[in-house]
Amino acid sequence: MCIAVPAKIIEIETYMKDKEERCVSDKVKSVTAKVEILGIVSRVNIQLLEEPQVGEYVLVHAGCAIKKIDEEYYGYLEMIHRAKWEELM
């Protein structure tokens, strides 16, 4: 069974194609974003999403944001994941 976790996009990162150094530019396609997953900040690939924005909620699986979700569904999934995590501890 594959599990996707809910995350919130907190920063969208862009890269210059010729130098591989970080830059802030709307002209370069974003490929990664920093997201918060249950309080942990992680970097994920966002190429599967159409025009992702900071503050949006997504499902993350295997290091890739696979789908945008609304805030209500995010809250529901986060509650389930937190409860399962507490069971394991």
What is the architecture, at CATH level 2, of domain 5-88?
Roll (2.30)
What is residue 21's predicted lDDT score, i.e. its pLDDT?
54
CA atoms within 13 A on the CB side of 9: 27
CA distance 58 to 9: 7
Per-residue pLDDT reduced to its tens digit, 22-58:
555 555 567 899 999 989 999 999 999 999 999 999 9
54-87 pLDDT, tens digit per residue, is 999 999 999 999 999 999 999 999 999 889 888 8
pTM: 0.78
> Which residue ranges make up each domain of the chain?
5-88
